Each structure stands twice: as C-alpha cells, then as structure tokens.
Amino acid sequence: MTRTHGRTLARSLITTALFIAPALVVRIVGLHPNPVVALVIYGAAVVAASFLLAWAAEAAQIDVSGGLAIAVLALIAVLPEYAVDLYYAYTAGHNPDYVQFAAANMTGSNRLLMGVGWPVVVLVGLWVARKMSGRKAGSMALDPGNRVELGFLLIAGVVAFVIPVTGQIHLVLGVALLAWFGFYLYKMSRGEVEEPDLIGTAAALGALSVRARRSSVMALFVIAGGVILMCAEPFAESLIGAGTQLGIDQFLLVQWLAPLASEAPEFIIAIIFASRGNGTAAIATLISSKVNQWTLLMGSLPIAYIAGGGGTALVLDGRQVEEVLLTATQTMMGIALILALRFHRYTALALLALFVVQFPITSTDGRLVLCGVYAVLALIGFVVNRRHVAVTLRAPFRSAEVADDTADEPALAR
C-alpha cells in the first residue's frame, strides 16, 4: 500500500470515528438529549457507519464474483435502513401505532432509490459521456447481465401488487419474497471474480495485502454493524420525537429522512462512479439495491412484526395502501422503460419529475391519479418494449448468460 493510500484510509477512519463517537457516548452513558439533538447525533452515526459498510463492501469485491459483489454491496449499503425499518416493524407487533412507520420507511426508501438515485446517476453518466466524446448522449446502455436483475425485479414487482389488493403484508408473501431474494443471491454468485474499479477509501483498503485487506474488511463490517444496531432504536425514536417537537408530519419524516440518511453513502458512491465514466456499473448497483428492497426488506417486515408479538399479517391502513400502490406502480414504470437495456435521458427526467411532483399531493385522489400516471407510462413501456418482456421474465431461470438483444430495440428505447 502506498503512502497516499495510507493517508486516505487513516483520514477516512478518523473522520467517521468523530461522527460515531458522540452517539456511542450518549448511548452508553444513558443520556436522553432533546429529540432534535438526538436525531442529529444518531443520524450522523448511522451515516458514518453506512460509509464504513460501503467502503468495506466495495473492497470485498476483489474476493468474490462480480455479480454477487454488486448484490452484496447493494445489500450492505442499505443495512442501516433495514435496521430502522425492522425496528419499526418489530415494535408494531406490540404497539399498533408503529405499523404506519414500518410502511413509511419501506415505501420511502424504494421511491427515493428509483425516483432520485436512478435518474441522477444516469444524468451524471450522460453528462460525463458528452464531455468525454464531445457528442450529446441520449441514453446509457446497461450491461446484458443486468437483464437477470431486471427479471428478478419485474417478477417481485408484479407479486408486490398483492399488498395493496389485500391491504396487508402476509407472512406467506414475506417468506416467498425472502426465498426469491435467496435465489437471486444464488444466481449472482455464479459469475466470475472481476477486478473492481475502486476509488478513494475503498481503493486504499483494496491496496492492502490479502490478509490485511480481508481482516480490515471484516473488522469494518463488525464495527459498523455494531454501531448501527446500537443506534437503530434511538435514531428511529428520535425521528418520531423530532416530528412532534418540530410540528412535522411524523409519517413523512420517517418516510424520507431515515432512508435519505441511510442511502446517502450509496448514492454518493454511485454518483462518483458515474462521474468517472462508469455509469453502467453505478446504475447496476442501484438496480440491485432496488431488488434488495423489493424482496428482502419487504419480506422481512411480517417476520419482524411476528417477532414483536404481532399476528401473521402486517395490516395496513388506507394511507399505507396508497403509498404501497404508488411505490409499486413507480417500480413497474421504471422497469418497463428500461427493458431494452437502454436508460434514456427522458426516462430519467420522467422518474425524477414524478418523484418531485408527489410532495404537494396530499389527497387520496391525488395519489391515485399519480398512480394512474405511473401505470399508463408503464403500460406504454411494456407495449413498446414487448419484445423484451418474455426474455426478461426468463432471465432469472436461465443457466447461461442472457444474450444482448438490444440491437433491434423499439423506438421508445432509442
């Protein structure tokens, strides 16, 4: 490892330690600060721990298969969000007031990822491509291997409509989604080990000797995981308390602030990759994150609910059903418009615009209209890209790599 790598690693670890230390002190000593202060303290620790996880997961790509590395990286990067969401679901098992927060965090994280993460990475990637080539790039080509992830997401997305139809997340559905995620990891593990393009702190970790790298990666996983477990409960509670104190809708605060804090490192890393001309890898990571959220996260909620003392189904109220329906239709739109493995500028702008538009819409009728807009765009995407639907549905079950079938893409994908 070079001296530069050593300085980078030391600086990053010291910086994250400075943000984590106050939360550990407050938690261990047993202090109970003002909810807003607690939100800042614990939120900073969660974000810092998220960076530790992201760096370690990136460096771990050196030792595992490329597809599995992306899947695991995407999973680990959002573990803080999972910890908070599962805490809400567990608590809802014996306190029904918390049911709304479990659904809020889950739908918020999903829509934030597809409504902001995907578009921003693509737009940055296209901007960089234009600077490098001198020509305006209208779309970003996805890797043919992403067909598998899209297939997993498409099938999970269709199944997820069971939730708004029944008004609940049943244990049977949860187990099915967890099994689907397990199959997804198995498929991703079949790829070959590829040399990753590491940057910053992850590159410094990757430059260590094999033994030192693996020990450091494991240590960071353990430390970050311990910090997240220690901070998950007070962070989740401080979100609710801060909402009351500041007069902000608690549902909205949980729905957007918690996912934003936990996913910030992943977004930043993906944007950095896109800014370096590797937008395809960046969007692949975020697509994998969406698969994780729409399978593992959602499937875990009824199990956490049962563990907390609840029944076999996490029953949702009308507002939560609307939120799940909105998230499901957004998911189908996003998938439908990139079935040809081309992520166009207008698709990114549409996802971003519809994400922003939702905030002033507070009525049930307004949300249903927005769901309709997502559904119509999804239908158009499926019709125009109909040649890619069957091959995408088959992709998760194929043993060989799916061939690149984008040569004769339909007009919408050009």
CATH of residue 9's domain is 1.20.1420.30
Torsion of CA 301, 375, 383, 345, to 10 degrees: -90
Domain contains 233? yes
Across 378-399, average pLDDT: 93
Selection from 53-57, 115-119, 189-193 with the highest mean pLDDT:
115-119
Domain contains 406? no
Are 169 and 301 in contact, with CB atoms under 8 Å apart? Answer: yes
pLDDT attached to residue 265? 66
* Cβ atoms < 10 Å from Cβ of 94: 11
Domain contains 407? no
Domain contains 126? yes
pLDDT attached to residue 61? 72
Among 95-99, 164-168, 391-395, which is the least confidently predicted range? Answer: 95-99
pLDDT attached to residue 53? 78
Query: Does pLDDT of 414 surpass 50?
Result: no
pLDDT-derived band at 369, boundaries 50, 70, 90? very high
pLDDT attached to residue 284? 83
pLDDT attached to residue 408? 40
Indicate the helix (H) or strand (E) that contains 169.
Answer: strand 168-170
Are 153 and 290 in contact, with CB atoms under 8 Å apart? Answer: yes
Say how many domains are in the chain. 1
Among 12-21, 227-236, 331-340, 342-351, which is the least confidently predicted range? Answer: 227-236
Percent of the chain with pLDDT over 90: 40
> CA nearest 341: which of 387, 295, 383?
387
Are 258 and 105 in contact, with CB atoms under 8 Å apart? Answer: yes
Across 78-105, average pLDDT: 84
pLDDT attached to residue 286? 86
Across 42-50, average pLDDT: 86
Q: Which comes out higher in pLDDT, residue 387 or 285?
A: 387
Query: Does pLDDT of 412 surpass 70?
Result: no
Burial of 151 (0-12, 13-18, 19+ CB in 10 A): buried
Range of the domain at 164: 3-397
Selection from 48-52, 91-95, 98-102 with the highest mean pLDDT:
91-95
pLDDT-derived band at 217, boundaries 50, 70, 90? confident
Are 109 and 81 in contact, with CB atoms under 8 Å apart? Answer: yes
Mean of pLDDT over the chain: 85
* Cβ atoms < 10 Å from Cβ of 362: 10
Could you tell me how far CA 37 lies from the centroid of its own chain?
27
Residue 140 in 3-state DSSP?
Answer: strand
pLDDT attached to residue 228? 83
Among 22-26, 62-66, 404-408, which is the least confidently predicted range? Answer: 404-408
Across 301-310, average pLDDT: 93
pLDDT attached to residue 15? 94
**DSSP classification of residue 400:** S
Domain contains 185? yes
Query: Does pLDDT of 317 surpass 90?
Result: no
Query: Does pLDDT of 395 surpass 90?
Result: yes
Domain contains 145? yes
pLDDT-derived band at 263, boundaries 50, 70, 90? confident
Across 161-183, average pLDDT: 94
What angle (nearest 5°) sits at the alpha carbon of residue 76, between those of residues 74 and 82? 100
pLDDT attached to residue 20? 94
Query: Does pLDDT of 122 surpass 80?
Result: yes
Domain contains 66? yes
- The amino acid at residue 311 is G
pLDDT attached to residue 402? 43
Across 309-313, average pLDDT: 92
CA 199 – CA 303 distance, rounded (Å): 37
> CA nearest 157: which of 352, 335, 286?
335
pLDDT-derived band at 158, boundaries 50, 70, 90? very high
pLDDT attached to residue 16? 93
> CA nearest 39: which of 253, 245, 325, 239?
239
Indicate the helix (H) or strand (E) that contains 141.
Answer: strand 139-141
> CA nearest 185: which of 72, 287, 74?
72
Are 167 and 316 in contact, with CB atoms under 8 Å apart? Answer: yes
CA 89 – CA 98 distance, rounded (Å): 7
Residue 136 in 3-state DSSP?
Answer: coil
Q: Which comes out higher in pLDDT, residue 181 or 130?
A: 181
CA 153 – CA 187 distance, rounded (Å): 13
pLDDT-derived band at 163, boundaries 50, 70, 90? very high
CA 92 – CA 118 distance, rounded (Å): 31
Q: Which comes out higher in pLDDT, residue 270 or 212?
A: 212
Are 239 and 254 in contact, with CB atoms under 8 Å apart? Answer: yes
Alpha helices in 192-344 (DSSP H): 200-206, 210-246, 250-275, 279-292, 298-307, 318-336
pLDDT attached to residue 407? 40
Convert the pLDDT of each residue in 327-366 to its tens digit: 999 999 999 999 999 999 999 999 999 999 998 888 899 9
Across 227-247, average pLDDT: 86
Domain contains 127? yes
